[in-house]
Structure 1
Amino acid sequence: MTNLKVHGSAPLGPVGDLEGDLASLRGDCARMAGHWSAPAPVPPLHVSPSLIHGVTVPPASARLLDAMSDYGD
């Protein structure tokens, strides 16, 4: 939401510029894209199924999943 209260003597500009349009938004995003680069993806490590043991599921969670049609039916 735009705060329309102005304190000081800075020029406000035309009223249509308060929110901007799609072209100005896309331009802003293009200028900021270099500042928000994503880190390089880290590949997940493979874990052998024989090393996975000792996993316990609380009874309430098991009942919840059993009641969901995607998991138990």
Structure 2
Amino acid sequence: MTNLGVHPAPAPADLEGDLASLRGDCARMAPHWTAPPRRRASRPVPPSHIHGVNVPAASARLLDAMSEYGD
């Protein structure tokens, strides 16, 4: 009996590439990802309109105790 759902493993990725190789890969992929059209600038939302978000106290304390980025 043949299992048609089995596919050969993909070739291993080249993890030893250099920056020029990475930039070339990115340049080839860039046309596949287009930016969405620009919309007009959004305005800030007043805190009274924000609802339905619950943050556990332990998570809030953890974030409060973290240093700012770059410290």
TM-score (norm 2): 0.35
TM-score (norm 1): 0.35
Structure with greater Cα Rg: 1
Structure with the greater relative contact order (CA < 8 A, sep ≥ 6): 1 or 2? 1
